[in-house]
Amino acid sequence: MKYTRDAIARMDGYVPGYQPGEGGYVKLNTNENPYPPSPRAVEAMRRACDESIRKYPPPMADRFRKAAAAAFHLEPGEILCGFGSDDLLTIAVRTFCDKGDSIAFPYPSYSLYPTLAAIQGAESVAVDFPEDYSLPPGLEKTGAKLTLLANPNAPSGTQLSGHEVRRLARSLDGVLLVDEAYVEFAGEDCLGLIRDCGNVIVTRTFSKAYSLAGLRFGFAAADAGLIRQMTKVKDSYNVSAPGIAGAAAAVEDRRWLEDNVRKIKDTRATLVRGLQSLGFHCWPSETNFVLARVPGHTAARDLFERLFERKILVRFFDLPRLDDCLRITVGTDADIDRLLGALDELLRGRV
């Protein structure tokens, strides 16, 4: 390892959910959307793939910033675009944290957070969520330069109220990044906080509610001063011309988004009812997935493997607090029927 930085040699890399090379799977493992994106977004991406693709894209993605500013009542200068929201998380870590600084986040949460801290040589401070996934006591007292809060949280699907997030932001000395990857499926959001609290960054993605995971597009909203600092850290051309065109058109197609979100929420209710009737405990989900504890607290890995054999992919985390649970993405009604049928058979030991 003589060529590698110690911090990199010592760490494990982030392991993304399984992406099968071939079709035929019921894919409920990486929180993608089962429905196609807005036709207006698809058309805009197609048009962006003409001969103009030989040029670099506008570095600040002006077309998108204008569309998002109008849609979310922001100023363009309060918006920074990224290659997915993961890119914006990386930019935030690099902007606000030196080697040896602390980065705090609740546990269990998005498992990329400790990986980003390790890459930067920063200290991870994981603060346990209570069993009901309410605000972790002590999260406001870590002294971290950066606190990362997925809200709604992954993998629990639960959400803290805007009121609680505001109180947290006000009690921190450092920056609070509210990762709102799933917020379109939730009851409230924290975008308004960026005007009230100068230390809040909100990130959003087009990978979930907008059905554009393959496009890799997200944005951060924050006070224009914070955005200017983060802009110095980003790659010059960190989003593509088709990405800018597609995401801008998607933001403008409000009606399509509302329909898509409604379908997912309806199916989410069916999924939760079905799981509960099989004896699973489900945490209240404000997202497009459900965290479900296997009846009797056992055999989650076994169930995961048996479902895999039937080409039904869900997510299993071999981690404390999660190793008796499955995280299940909300697919189509047909996907969920197939999953619930398979679980019913497996749990009753019929196969």
**Closest to ligand PLP by CB, 150 or 312:** 150
> Which of 120, 331, 81 lies closest to 215, judged by CA?
81
Question: Least distance to ligand PLP from the beta carbon of 158, Å?
Answer: 12
Binding mask 91-110 for ligand PLP (x = CB under 6 A): -------------------x
The count of residues interacting with ligand PLP (CB under 6 A) is 13
Binding mask 171-190 for ligand PLP (x = CB under 6 A): --------x-x---------
Give the alpha-carbon dihedral of 16, 17, 20, 24, to 10 degrees: -160
Tell me if 300 sits within 8 A of 316, measured CB to CB. yes
Segment lying near ligand PLP (by CB under 6 A), choices 84-92, 115-123, 159-167, 220-228 = 84-92
SS3 of 261-325? HHHHHHHHHHHHHHHHHCCCEECCCCCCEEEEECHHHCCHHHHHHHHHHCCEECECCCCCCCCCE
Alpha carbon 12 to its chain centroid, in Å, reads 20
Cα 95 to Cα 146: distance, rounded to the nearest angstrom = 10
| 8-state DSSP, 348 | T
* φ and ψ at residue 305, rounded to 5 degrees: -70, -40
Question: Least distance to ligand PLP from the beta carbon of 44, Å?
Answer: 19
SS3 label, residue 14: coil
- Single residue of 142, 199, 205, 267 touching ligand PLP by CB under 6 A: 205
- Residue 32 near ligand PLP by CB under 6 A: no
Segment lying near ligand PLP (by CB under 6 A), choices 5-13, 78-86, 120-128, 169-177 = 78-86
**Closest to ligand PLP by CB, 48 or 154:** 154
**Closest to ligand PLP by CB, 215 or 342:** 215
Binding mask 125-164 for ligand PLP (x = CB under 6 A): -------------------------x---x----------
Please classify residue 19 by burial: count the beta carbons closer than 10 Å to its beta carbon, then call 0-12 exposed, 13-18 middle and 19+ buried: exposed
Question: Least distance to ligand PLP from the beta carbon of 154, Å?
Answer: 4
Give the total residue count for the chain.
351
Binding footprint of ligand PLP on the chain (CB under 6 A) = 31, 84-86, 110, 150, 154, 179, 181, 205, 207, 213, 218
